[in-house]
Amino acid sequence: MRVQFVLTEVLRGLRRNLSMVVSVVLVTFVSLAFVGAAALIQAQVGKLQDDWYNRVEVSVFLCPRDFSAAPTCAGGEATQEQIDAIRRVIDDELGGEVAHTYVETKADAFRAFQERYPDGYQGTQLTEDDMQASLRLKLRDPSHYEVVADVLQGRDGVEVVEDQRAIFRPLFLALNRLSMLAVGLAVVMLLTAGLLITTTIRLSAVSRRRETGIMRLVGASNLFVQLPFLLEGAIAAVIGSLLAVGGLWLGVRYLVTDWLEKSVTWVAYVTTSDVLQVAPLLVGIAVALAVVSSVVTLNRYTRV
């Protein structure tokens, strides 16, 4: 009987404040969509880092034929003896860090240059002698770049040691900033949703003062009086969170899986399973938001 009464009161309250309930649903939907988008962006960054960082190499550029400002290149172009000495250091001191070493000769560098710039670079025609030889190191753990750089940097014949991960850092920085922007917008929208829930519950409580007064007279507890109002806010917020989950799922399904994955196949993307992993978080935030907003309001307007 009590359950039926509570459900009846909930449905009555939802009908009385339908426009406000719709507003709560929509604002919650938008705000949690931003929260979910931020979480998915972070998941995408993680996938890209795991995938790309495992592929990148450390490039040990040897002294070129032309002038170099590096003190280790004061003697000119790296000699074969210097290259052999560098390789011995890699094999002996860095054997536990380097999984594979590939020597890119000047001829190899020139072929790669011709493939990338068949008409020359900015109108300048370069030759094989203008190229720079290098050693490409595949690390067992890409995060140990500093260990390799400390050992090789400053040795005769080595101009500079570069970590290819630096190429991707601007992209990851942009994605992280986009994620932070989404979080900021989500916080603003969540505050708006909380205020709307508070207003909706307050209007509902004011319009049902007579019913709550009767319930007080017959000895109803605070929980029993407040439960219908709390459920109204929770239902609206949960509906908004489910809409956010659905919107994110559709976005990933059709924009990422059906479009991006087929257009750019060499990138690891987030999937609909990632959306489902985020879904409990969004629903939990919605419930917590509704409960906190409702309790704050109900303690003032329906206190027994």
Place of tokens 């629903």: 283
CA distance 235 to 161: 58
106, 128 contact by CB (below 8 A)? yes
- How high is the pLDDT of residue 250? 94
256-293 pLDDT, tens per residue? Answer: 888 887 777 667 788 899 999 999 999 999 888 888 87
Residue 100 DSSP SS3: strand
Mean pLDDT of 162-189: 76
- Does the domain formed by 57-163 have CATH 3.30.70.3040? yes
- How high is the pLDDT of residue 110? 84
227-237 pLDDT, tens per residue? Answer: 666 777 788 88
CA distance 134 to 72: 15
Mean pLDDT of 122-131: 73
Domain positions in the chain are 2-52+168-301, 57-163
54-79 pLDDT, tens per residue? Answer: 667 788 888 888 778 888 888 888 88
65, 77 contact by CB (below 8 A)? yes
24, 204 contact by CB (below 8 A)? no
- How high is the pLDDT of residue 1? 43
Closest CA to 126 of 114, 108, 116, 112: 114
For every residue of 147-207, DSSP letters joined together read: HHHHHHTTSTTEEEEEETHHHHHHHHHHHHHHHHHHHHHHHHHHHHHHHHHHHHHHHHHHH
Mean pLDDT, rounded, of the chain:
78
Beta strand ranges found along the chain (DSSP E):
58-62, 98-104, 134-139, 158-163
- How high is the pLDDT of residue 304? 43
pLDDT of 5 above 60: no
Give Cβ neighbours of residue 38 (< 8 Å, ≥ 6 apart). Answer: 179, 180, 182, 183, 186
Would you say the pTM of this structure is higher than 0.85? no
Mean pLDDT of 32-52: 81
Mean pLDDT of 124-136: 80
**Interior CA angle at 42 toward 48 and 237, to 5°?**
145
- How high is the pLDDT of residue 108? 85
pLDDT of 10 above 60: no
- How high is the pLDDT of residue 299? 63
Range in 2-6, 132-136, 269-273 with the lowest mean pLDDT = 2-6
Residue 294 DSSP SS3: helix
**Interior CA angle at 250 toward 249 and 251, to 5°?**
90
**Interior CA angle at 297 toward 296 and 300, to 5°?**
95
What's the longest Cα–Cα distance across the chain? 99
- How high is the pLDDT of residue 278? 92
Give Cβ neighbours of residue 207 (< 8 Å, ≥ 6 apart). Answer: 16, 17
pLDDT of 223 above 60: no
Residue 54 DSSP SS3: coil
27, 189 contact by CB (below 8 A)? yes
The rounded percent of the chain whose pLDDT value lies above 70 is 75
The rounded percent of the chain whose pLDDT value lies above 90 is 8
Distances (CA, A) of 257 to 32, 38, 118, 251: 22, 18, 35, 9
CA distance 161 to 77: 16
